[in-house]
Chain A
Amino acid sequence: MRKIWSTEDILQLHLSRRVFLGGATALAGGVALGPFLPGSAHAAGGDLQIMAWEGWELSDELADWRTKNGVNVEVSAIGNQDDVTSKFSSGNPPPFDAAEYNQGYSDLYIDVLKITKPLDKAKIPNYSKENLFDVFYDKPTWYRDGKLHGVPYAWGLNALVYAPDKVEKPASYTDLLKPEFKGKIAIVDDTLATWPLAATLAGFGSKFPHLTKDEMASTFENLVKYRDQARVISLTYGDAVSLMVSGEVVAVLIGWTGIPVETAKQGLKTEYTIPKEGATTWCDAWFMPPSVDNEETSYKFINEAISPEIQAKVVTRNAAGVVSSKAVELLPPETKALFDYSDVNGIFKAAPLLGIPPLKSAEHATYADWVAAWNEFKAG
C-alpha cells in the first residue's frame, strides 16, 4: 500500500533532515577538530579485548565503569603464561588491546619478542609515585630505554600450603619428605614458582636463574625426592585446589595465598605458611601490544585497574597484594593481614622478583635446558 504523506509527516521529515544535517555537521566538525579539543583523545568506549588470569579480568570490579563509558570487554582467560607467549609469538599479532604477564617474562616479551608497546605515562594518571609502592614504580623490570612497558597490577608470594586438620604445620619444605606426607603432596606445574624453589632447596637459590648445567642437574636430582613423595603434578593451581578438597593431597609444595581462600569456599580449611627456606615473589603487570586496536580505552582500563578502589576489590577477591599504597587502607583486615604492608620493600628485598633462565648462554643452563629437564622430571 502506498503511503499518503500528511502535513505532520512532512514536518517530521523536515525536522529529521535538520537533525540529520546538524548531526552530520557536528560529526564532520568533530572528526576535523576532535584531536585539538581538550579531553577528546582520552575518551573511553567501544570494544576492548584483553587476556587476563581467571579472577583478574575485573568483570565485576569495573562493571559500572564499563556501563558509564559504553565499553564492552571481551576476555580470553589465561591458564598459564604460555597461553600469552604462544599467541603473541606466532606470525600474526592477535587482536588484543591489553594482556597480563608475569615479571619473569619481562625480558622475553620486551627485548626478544618485542610484543610490548612503550606506554605514555601521562595517559595513566594512577601510575604515580604517590599511588604505587616504591618497588613497583619506574623499576627496571618493567622499563626499557626510559619507557614504561608494563604496569604492575598485583603481587604475592609463592610458598607452602597445607591442611592443618590433617597434618602438622611444616616448618621446612623438607618436612614434606617425612613418611606421613608420602603420596599426599602435590607439585604444581608452574615453573615460575617451582624452579626458584627447587634451586633454593638444592642450595643454589641465590644464583637462580643463572645456574650452570651441572647445578641445574643437581637441582632436579634433589627435587626428585619431592616427586617421589608426590601424589601428582597438578596442571594448575585450580587443579591443586580440587585435589586438596577431594582429600587426594594434604599439602602443595609451592602454592599461593589464593588457595586457602578457594578451598574455604568448598568447606576445607587450608593454611598458607612460609617455611624457613622462604618464599618466592611474583608480580603480574598489564602490557599493551604494538597491534593495539582501541588504544585510548586500553589506557583507561589499565589506569582503572591500578586505582586504589579497584585494587582493593580485586586483591580481596583473589587474596593477593595491592601495588597501590593508597589501597591498603581500603582492604578488609584478613586481606590486609596477608602481607606486612609496612615493609613491602623488605619483602621484595628478601625475595626479589626473578626472571626466567637465559634464552641463550654458553655458560649457564638455558630456558630450553630447564624445560627439557622439567619434562624429564615430570616423566619420572
Chain B
Amino acid sequence: MNLSRTKIGAILAAPTVVYMVIFFVVPSLILFSYSFWSSESYRVVPDFVFTNYLDSLHSAVFWKVTINAVRIGLTTAAISLVLAVPVGYYLVYVSRSQTMLYLILITWFSSYLVRIYAWRTLLGTNGVLNAVLLQLGIVDHPVDAFLFSSFAVTITLVHIYLPFCILLVTSSLSEIKPDLIDAARDLGTSSLGAFFRVIAPNAANGLAGAFMLTFILVAGDYVTPQMLGGSSGQTTGLLIADQFRKTGNWPLGAAQAFVMFVISIALYFILVSLGRATGLIVKRRTINPKGI
C-alpha cells in the first residue's frame, strides 16, 4: 500500500495532535468560556458577562503587576538571548561539541527551588557576593539591594531559563548551512559581517521564537519574583493563582489569564513588526517540494 507523504505525515502527527486537542485546546476553550461566567461564593455560575474582563482592565493592581511581569519577562528574555547567541554560534559552527551542550543542560537536573535558595545565599546581606566585595574593599558595609530587588529576580531567572534559550538558539542556527558563511567570507565580508548579513537574517525567525518562548515562561513565573523580588516581585501569575486558590473566583482568574495571553500575542506581533521594519527579520519564501 502506497501512502502519500501527506498521509504519512498526518498519521505520524495524529497522536500528538489528538493529545494536544484533548489536553490543551479543549481545556483552553473551557477556560475561555469560564471567563464569561460569574462566580458566587466559590461556585462558578454559567453566564455571559464581560465583568471579569472589565474588572481586570480597570484594576490598577492588575496593570501594575502585569507591567511588572512584562518588564521582568522582556529583560530576562533579552539578556538570555544576547548570552545564548554566542554560545549557540560556538556550538554550531566552532566546536560542534555535544558534551558542551549536555554540560549546559545539566543545570536542569537541579531543583528549581534549590536554585532560588542558592541565589538567596549568594546575594544575601551575609552572602558570598557581599563577602567578596567587603574583602576587596569595594564596599565598606554589606549591600542590601542585591537581594529582594529586580536585580535578584533577573539574575536568577536568567540562570534558570538561559539553558532553554541556548537550546532554541542552537536549534535555529543549525538550520543555516556553514557553506553560506563560507560563501560570504569568500565574497569579502568580515566574520562579524557574515554574522549580521547571513546568520542573523536567516536565523531571525528562530531567534524571535527563542525570545518569545523565554519571555512567555518568565512572564508567567510568579514564584521566583515573589521569593527574590520583595515588593517588586508581584506578577500577574500570582493574581491569577489567587483567584483559583484563595477566592475561588475561577471566571476572574480565567479572564486575567486570557488578558495576559493577548498581551503576549500582541508583544510577539510588535516584535516581529519591528524586526521587519528594521530589516532584522526577513520574510522567508516558502519552497515547494519541487524546489520551484
A83 surroundings in chain B (CB, below 8 A):
245
From residue B70, how far is it (CB to closest CB) to chain A in Å?
A: 14
- With beta carbons under 8 angstroms apart, the residue of B61, B120, B144 that contacts A246 is B120
Q: Does B231 contact A378, Cβ atoms closer than 8 Å?
A: yes
One of A282-290, A327-335, A365-373 at the interface: A365-373
From 196 to 252 in chain A, residues with beta carbon under 8 angstroms from any chain B beta carbon are 227, 231-233, 235, 239, 242, 246-248
Can you pick out 11 interface pairs between chain A and chain B where the beta carbons lie within 8 Å of each other? Answer: A82-B246, A86-B248, A233-B231, A235-B226, A242-B117, A359-B41, A360-B40, A367-B247, A368-B247, A375-B61, A379-B61
- Contact flag A371-B242 (CB < 8 Å), given A89-B248, A183-B144: yes
Residues of B that sit less than 8 Å from A by CB: 40-42, 59-61, 64-65, 68, 117, 120-121, 124-126, 144, 147-148, 226-227, 230-232, 234, 238-239, 242, 244-249
B247 surroundings in chain A (CB, below 8 A):
367-368, 371
From 63 to 89 in chain A, residues with beta carbon under 8 angstroms from any chain B beta carbon are 82-83, 85-86, 89
A177: interface (CB < 8 Å): no
Q: Does A372 contact B61, Cβ atoms closer than 8 Å?
A: yes
Can you name the residue of chain A whose Cβ is closest to the Cβ of B65? A379
From residue A222, how far is it (CB to closest CB) to chain B in Å?
A: 17
From residue A84, how far is it (CB to closest CB) to chain B in Å?
A: 10
A contact patch SS: helix
Closest 7 CB pairs between A and B? Answer: A380-B231, A379-B234, A82-B245, A86-B245, A359-B41, A376-B61, A247-B126
| Count of A interface residues, CB-CB < 8 Å | 30
- Contact flag A248-B147 (CB < 8 Å), given A85-B245, A112-B42, A371-B246: yes
A13 surroundings in chain B (CB, below 8 A):
none
- Contact flag A89-B42 (CB < 8 Å), given A82-B246, A239-B227, A379-B65: yes
Can you name the residue of chain B whose Cβ is closest to the Cβ of A247? B126
Can you name the residue of chain A whose Cβ is closest to the Cβ of B248? A89
From residue B247, how far is it (CB to closest CB) to chain A in Å?
A: 5
Q: Does A380 contact B42, Cβ atoms closer than 8 Å?
A: no
Q: Does A108 contact B42, Cβ atoms closer than 8 Å?
A: yes
Q: Mark A94-121, 1 if CB is under 8 A from B, else 0.
A: 0000000000000010001100000000
- With beta carbons under 8 angstroms apart, the residue of A86, A227, A360, A372 that contacts B231 is A227
Can you name the residue of chain A whose Cβ is closest to the Cβ of B231? A380
Q: Does B124 contact A375, Cβ atoms closer than 8 Å?
A: no
Q: Does B126 contact A246, Cβ atoms closer than 8 Å?
A: yes
From residue A254, how far is it (CB to closest CB) to chain B in Å?
A: 18
Best-surrounded residue of B60, B117, B244, B245 (most CB of chain A within 10 A): B245
Q: Does A359 contact B125, Cβ atoms closer than 8 Å?
A: no
Q: Does B125 contact A248, Cβ atoms closer than 8 Å?
A: yes
From residue B3, how far is it (CB to closest CB) to chain A in Å?
A: 41
Q: Does B42 contact A246, Cβ atoms closer than 8 Å?
A: no
Q: Does A380 contact B234, Cβ atoms closer than 8 Å?
A: yes
From residue B123, how far is it (CB to closest CB) to chain A in Å?
A: 10
Q: Does B245 contact A247, Cβ atoms closer than 8 Å?
A: no
Contacts A108-B42, A248-B124, A371-B242 known; list 16 others, CB within 8 Å: A82-B246, A83-B245, A183-B144, A232-B148, A242-B120, A360-B41, A367-B247, A371-B246, A372-B59, A372-B61, A376-B60, A378-B231, A379-B65, A379-B68, A380-B232, A380-B234
